[in-house]
Structure 1
Amino acid sequence: MTTFYFSLLLVIATIFTGLVWLIDHFLFKPKRATAIAEVESKTGRKLTAEEASRAVPESSLVEFSRSAFPLIAFILILRSFFYEPFRIPSGSMMPTLLAGDFILVEKFRYGVRDPLFRKQLLATGTPKHGEVAVFKYPVEPDIDYIKRVIGLPGDRVVYHDKQFYIEKQCAPNCSGENEVSLEHELVAEGEFYYGRVPMRTYAETHGDNSYQVLVNPVAGSQVGAFYNQANSRRGEWIVPEGHYFVIGDNRDNSRDSRFWGFVPEENLVGRAVFVWLSLDFDHGPDSRMPSWLPARVRFERLGSIR
């Protein structure tokens, strides 16, 4: 079930249970109270709650709606405007995020939007360099993607020899250097593998965010498959206004802005902020456990996302 249909289901359930509760509260509840008062007048004593429910029973639909409405409405408000859980399905954001990580996304970070049509209700902020963002995949908006933002509107992004260079947009009166090379510092090799190839782990800093990325030392650059922006060379892009350039931390195993272009601001869902559960489904060759059962919980991965 896509997030749209789940949101639609929540909205319908909230409206339905809310209407049932309101209609009962203002129309049928007073009638039940009158009927109970008549019974008490005839018996000459006050009925207990159990006796009253037997004498003037409440429909199961009303009982369910009265109990379910606050919970459903709370879930709708929480996941629509504050925090929504997502599951990481692939390794394109390794080593920051692994397949099987369950994360919380801060929905209000990049604007408050209605849960169905995603029209902005309140502007609250925009992505910053180096933040990890969830967004609607521009090619198939029903699919949610997660990548790291490296290019803001007006930035010039250059990818050469597995190295990113960012020329930040500079106001007319700004001074100082505005070109940034996302320098790599090798911190590990062989912690992760692509087949039999040991991957290199580099530390990288962009803006206020420090994180790690993976590079396959034997993989080609795939420049021929890159998105070719008009009036630009392959491997170079100028981020349009209202758009963002995003990449995966697993640099040689990620389909990102290098291949399909920019993310419109209206496609932004929120900022990934926390790993609240991490399940490892990698069973050993001798394991008899079903593949859908996790082999272990990776407690060491729980915490804030950098």
Structure 2
Amino acid sequence: MDLNPRKLIADNKTFLLFVAGMILMRSALADWYVVPSSSMYPHLLEGDRVIANRIAYDIKVPFTDVILKHVGEPQRGDIVTFSSPADGVRLIKRVIGLPGDVVEMRDQKLIINGQPADYAQIQEPDPNFLTPKREYPNQQLMFTESFGSFQHNIIVMPERSALRSFDPVTVPLGHYMMLGDNRDNSNDSRFYGFVKRELITGRVSRLMFSLDYDNYYMPRIDRIGAKLNP
């Protein structure tokens, strides 16, 4: 068997260029990510495959966190992927606090720069968008959280022990506060602190496809290529 490296490269040049191009694209332009948990219910479900736009905010040196140029600014309400400040694990959460914001939480309700968010309970939420019963069988409530023009739904779990209040904190320059939409079932900035801009790896606004783990991994047809609402 001929294991000559030069011949192997020559015989597989097209395939190797394709692989290199895919790796470069994932590092520099766009990435895809499997949602592994229920921390972003009701907007992102376990089994969702999402597309992250890696150049939504910054152009970086490939394979690094070194920013070459800012091309956009993260906005409150954006869903983003980032490397955890605690251990580097890739996470997906929602931007809640911007640089310079003063953020606090009182009994699950956000107050940003002295202005409280508004909350309206959704009386009959779709059970398909609640935390799976196998994970949490007790009561779940869904609310629409509104702050200015920013509006989205969150889930709370009244019977679960969770961090529902914190004193006012100022988001440092170049940092962001991230929270999960499944507010009582999310490991987020309440635990590992603010996230540096350099650690943000992309903005998520669309799904590729989704597999239903509780239904024999069948595809969720309505989520193929679906655009994510705020």
TM-score of the superposed pair, with normalisation by structure 1: 0.66
Q: Identify the residue that residue 116 of structure 2 maps to in structure 1.
A: 181
Residue 27 of structure 2 contacts residue 63 of structure 2 at CA under 8 Å; is this kept in 1? no
The partner residue of 1:219 within 139, 143, 160 is 160
Give the number of equivalent residue pairs: 218
Cα separation, 1, equivalents of 2:167 and 2:108 = 10
Give the counterpart letter for 1:97 in structure 2.
L
Greater CA radius of gyration, 1 or 2? 1
Residue 32 of structure 2 contacts residue 49 of structure 2 at CA under 8 Å; is this kept in 1? yes
Unaligned regions of 5+ residues in structure 1, if any? 1-16, 21-58, 168-178, 227-233, 284-292
Tell me whether 103-112 or 191-200 shows the greater mean CA deviation. Answer: 191-200
Deviation string 1:96-131 (CA, Å, 9 cap, x unpaired) is: 111111000010012011232221122112211111
Instruction: Report the CA distance shift for 1:206/1:276 in structure 2 as closer, same or farther (over 3 A).
Output: farther
Residue 189 of structure 1 contacts residue 199 of structure 1 at CA under 8 Å; is this kept in 2? no
The partner residue of 1:299 within 213, 221, 226 is 221
Give the counterpart letter for 2:109 in structure 1.
Q
Q: For 1:196, what is the secondary structure of its paired residue? A: coil
Q: Identify the residue that residue 32 of structure 1 maps to in structure 2.
A: none
Give the counterpart letter for 2:214 in structure 1.
D
Q: Identify the residue that residue 139 of structure 1 maps to in structure 2.
A: 86
Unaligned regions of 5+ residues in structure 2, if any? none
Cα separation, 1, equivalents of 2:50 and 2:150 = 18
Shift of 1:220: 4.1
Residue 128 of structure 1 contacts residue 207 of structure 1 at CA under 8 Å; is this kept in 2? no
Residue 128 of structure 1 contacts residue 149 of structure 1 at CA under 8 Å; is this kept in 2? yes
Q: For 1:76, what is the secondary structure of its paired residue? A: helix
Is 1:238 equivalent to 2:170 in the alignment?
Answer: yes
Instruction: Report the CA distance shift for 1:260/1:119 in structure 2 as closer, same or farther (over 3 A).
Output: same
Instruction: Report the CA distance shift for 1:188/1:81 in structure 2 as closer, same or farther (over 3 A).
Output: farther
The structure where strand makes up a greater share of residues is 2
Cα separation, 2, equivalents of 1:189 and 1:250 = 17
The partner residue of 1:202 within 143, 152, 156 is 143
Q: For 1:75, what is the secondary structure of its paired residue? A: helix
Is 1:118 equivalent to 2:68 in the alignment?
Answer: no
The structure where helix makes up a greater share of residues is 1
Cα separation, 1, equivalents of 2:196 and 2:148 = 21
Q: Give the root-mean-square deviation of aligned CA atoms.
A: 2.2
- Percent sequence identity is 30
The partner residue of 1:62 within 10, 13, 36 is 10
Shift of 1:207: 5.5
Give the counterpart letter for 1:297 in structure 2.
P
Instruction: Report the CA distance shift for 1:82/1:207 in structure 2 as closer, same or farther (over 3 A).
Output: farther
